[in-house]
């Protein structure tokens, strides 16, 4: 069953003209990768089950467009039966082109619902000029989406956060919240009544940028948080992109680390019984090799890593 999710092949297309062959081939590879990564996340975290009615939250940004697009592709060949319903929250931002999303969603054939709620006026009235609007906006939006999920009979709420969002959240919590905490791929909602899923948890943002361009999604910019350039999240995002540019592969390594946590080598006594540690007389799998590269072995001592000594 899992292979059907992961190994989904792109739909058959007409052969591209010679001049477009490379572009067409790269787009097919990208589509296959996106379907595979979303399928893997769905399987690994049991995100979508038989009979689910998945409420796909579509904001008008590249990420949510891509999420709906890929889920529609996977639904065609999934080994289980489930429904998708797209939901957009129109927050009544000035100049918001309210016709774009309904027109686009009609072309997909997916059932959709547009929820009209003037949260924009509330946020602008309550949050002082120059202060971050994301927190209040997010709380208001979540409450409305939970209510709509109830009204629509949705069993899962799908959000369009991707791998880079998850890493940014991790660093934001570490830098400014004093916690090793990220953005989980699946969780119970604040009110305890819904399952929230992030099917694109393993997808790189750079791939979503390319997919959005290829699919020519009608992107709608946000005039609330999207207009604030001094956000800590944007600064952390720029930091991660700079790291990846200077040290290719670092993003993949950090994301892998979120899935390979070793509580015995951190400092949280609630996660590991440091007080109760006793000698066992047996070799420990991690021991004191906190950062010793396992590929470097001490000469004549098979299985033991070279101990790195501090300078001096």
Span 155-195, pLDDT tens digits? 999 999 999 999 999 999 999 999 999 999 999 988 888 99
Q: How many CA atoms lie within 13 A of 280 on its CB side?
A: 7
55 within a domain of the structure (yes/no): yes
For position 143, what pLDDT does the model report? 87
Distance CA 165, CA 186 (A): 14
285 within a domain of the structure (yes/no): no
Token reading at 97: 């082109």
For position 308, what pLDDT does the model report? 42
Domain that holds residue 120: 47-257
First and final CA of the chain: distance in angstroms? 57
135 within a domain of the structure (yes/no): yes
159 within a domain of the structure (yes/no): yes
Number of structural domains in the chain: 1
240 within a domain of the structure (yes/no): yes
37 within a domain of the structure (yes/no): no
Task: Give the DSSP per-residue string, 3-54.
Answer: HHHHTPPPPP-PPPPGGGHHHHHHHHHHHHHHHHHHHHHHHHTT-S-TT-EE
Token reading at 127: 């949050």
35 within a domain of the structure (yes/no): no
Containing 120, the helix (H) or strand (E) segment is helix 119-126
For position 21, what pLDDT does the model report? 53
246 within a domain of the structure (yes/no): yes
DSSP annotation of 55 reads: E
Q: Convert the pLDDT of each residue in 56-90 to its tens digit.
A: 999 999 999 999 999 999 999 899 999 999 999 88
Residue 164: which CATH number? 3.40.50.620
Taking 80 as the threshold, does the pLDDT of residue 22 lie above it? Answer: no
């Amino acid at each position: 069953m899992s292979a059907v999710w992961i190994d989904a092949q792109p739909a058959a297309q007409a052969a591209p003209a010679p001049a477009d062959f490379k572009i067409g081939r790269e787009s097919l590879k990208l589509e296959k990768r996106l379907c595979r990564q979303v399928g893997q996340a769905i399987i690994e975290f049991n995100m979508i089950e038989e009979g689910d009615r998945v409420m796909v939250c579509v904001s008008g940004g590249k990420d949510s467009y891509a999420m709906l697009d890929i889920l529609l592709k996977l639904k065609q060949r999934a080994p289980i039966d489930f429904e998708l319903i797209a939901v957009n929250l129109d927050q009544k931002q000035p100049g918001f082109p309210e016709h774009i999303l309904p027109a686009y969603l009609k072309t997909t054939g997916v059932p959709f619902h547009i929820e009209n709620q003037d949260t924009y006026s509330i946020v602008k009235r309550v949050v002082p000029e120059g202060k971050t609007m994301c927190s209040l906006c997010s709380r208001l939006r979540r409450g409305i989406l939970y209510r709509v999920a109830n009204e629509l009979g949705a069993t899962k709420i799908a959000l369009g956060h991707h791998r880079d969002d998850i890493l940014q959240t991790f660093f934001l919590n570490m830098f400014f919240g004093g916690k090793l905490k990220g953005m989980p791929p699946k969780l119970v909602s604040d009110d305890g009544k819904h399952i929230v899923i992030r099917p694109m948890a393993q997808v790189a943002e750079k791939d979503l940028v390319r997919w959005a361009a290829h699919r020519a999604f009608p992107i709608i910019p946000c005039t609330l948080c999207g207009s604030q350039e001094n956000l800590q999240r944007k600064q952390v995002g720029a930091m991660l992109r700079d790291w990846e540019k200077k040290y290719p592969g670092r993003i993949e390594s950090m994301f892998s680390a979120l899935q390979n946590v070793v509580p015995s080598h951190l400092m949280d006594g609630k996660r590991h019984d440091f007080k109760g540690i006793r000698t066992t007389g047996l070799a420990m799998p991690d021991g004191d090799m906190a950062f010793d590269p396992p590929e470097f072995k001490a000469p004549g001592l098979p299985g033991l890593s070279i101990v790195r000594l501090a300078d001096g």
